[in-house]
Structure formats: structure tokens, C-alpha cells
Amino acid sequence: MDHIKHLIDHGHTHFGENKVQEAIEKWTEVKKQNDKINLHMVGKLQSNKVKYALKIFEYIHSVDNIKLVKKISSEQKKNEKKPKIFIQVNKGNEIQKSGINYNDFNDFYNLCKTNDLNVIGTMCIPPDDNKSDLYFSKLKKLNDDNNLNEISMGMSNDYLNAVEQQSTFLRIGSKIFGQRD
């Protein structure tokens, strides 16, 4: 946590985590000491972890199925806490990656709104084929077409392409902290 403390001391307030349990262990005390910290759930969120996730995360970047939408809707009513939601779109239609199909976006977005989710944008992790700019531009258009202001795209290897497409949230942890152990 020392490397994170240095960032906090310099005014950085947004941090991403991939796992709910790790975030709880790492951030509970830190957030008690600094109420400006915003945690982002950037990994796959399982529906059985939603009640814990809502206690620590202000943003969820990986909403991609009906079961998860229903669970978040139910838990946010119980906790009176409404996280900011990104719909994860599988732009490359890759079987191994999460996310809704691009063509199903409008129906899924309407489902999220019907369930009172605070959808602020979209998220994608493009295929590793060196064409991220193509996927990012399509996601940008999807956001624009739906009047969504936030886009979560771009990681350590492709963040410059994401910036060119006006990404508002970048996930560049390994460039800052190095590879995970």
C-alpha cells in the first residue's frame, strides 16, 4: 500500500481493483481516512459479490448480464447507494471475454434504465490484434449515439489510442505499478 499512499498524498483519488475481496482488505481503512477516494470495480463482478461491492466501490465498469443488473438494482435499494455503472461491450465478439454483444446494446441499456441503474457510460477491452483504435472509435460512436458521457477504455498497452477516442477512464495500472505478482 505504500506505493498507493504516495499517489494519494499527491492528490490522486481514483483507483481500480479487479477483485471485491482484495479491495475490501486493501481499501476499507484507507477510505475511512480519506472520503475523496473513489474505487472502481474494473474486473468481472459476480452477482454473489454485489452486496459487498456496493459497500466499497463507487464505480462498476463491468456490467454485462441481466442477472447482474437485477442484483445491483436490488442491493442499491437496500444500501441506498447507487454506483456509477459502465456497460461492458464485447466489441470483438470474443468468446473468452465478457461483455454484451454490440448489437444488443440498446435493449440492455434500456433494461439497466428500467432497473434504475445509474449508467454513465460504456467499457470495452478490445481484442489483442493491434487494432484497438478501430474498436475504440466504434465504442465512442455508441456512447455518442446514446448521449453517454463516460468511456472506460484503454490499458497500459493501448491507452494512447483510447485517449485519441476521448476515453474518460483509463486502466493503466501496470504502467504505474508494474506487473502484478
DSSP string, 33-53: H-TT-EEEE-SPPPGGGHHHH
Domain containing residue 161: CATH number:
3.20.20.10
Number of other CB atoms surrounding residue 111 within 10 Å: 17
User: What is the domain extent for residue 84?
Assistant: 43-175
How far apart CA 108 and CA 100 sit, in angstroms, is 8
The verdict on residue 108 lying in a domain is yes
Per the CB < 8 A criterion, the answer to whether 174 and 180 are in contact is yes
The verdict on residue 139 lying in a domain is yes
Task: Output the pLDDT for position 92.
Answer: 55
Task: Output the pLDDT for position 176.
Answer: 60
Nearest CA to 6 out of 124, 176, 180, 179 is that of 176
Per the CB < 8 A criterion, the answer to whether 83 and 60 are in contact is yes
Q: What's the grid cell of residue 68? A: 447482474
Which DSSP letter does residue 168 get?
S
Tens-level pLDDT at each residue, the chain (181 residues): 667 787 888 888 999 999 999 999 999 999 999 999 999 999 999 999 999 999 999 999 999 999 999 999 999 999 889 999 999 998 655 565 778 988 899 999 999 999 999 999 999 887 676 677 888 889 899 999 999 999 998 876 777 788 888 888 888 765 566 665 5
- Name residue 90's beta-bridge partners: 101
Nearest CA to 88 out of 53, 41, 122, 44 is that of 122
The verdict on residue 12 lying in a domain is no
Task: Output the pLDDT for position 43.
Answer: 92
Task: Output the pLDDT for position 11.
Answer: 87
The verdict on residue 153 lying in a domain is yes
Give the total number of structural domains in the chain: 1
The verdict on residue 52 lying in a domain is yes
Sign of CA dihedral 74, 80, 83, 85: positive
The verdict on residue 140 lying in a domain is yes
How far apart CA 60 and CA 70 sit, in angstroms, is 14
Task: Output the pLDDT for position 32.
Answer: 94
Task: Output the pLDDT for position 162.
Answer: 81
- Name residue 88's beta-bridge partners: 123
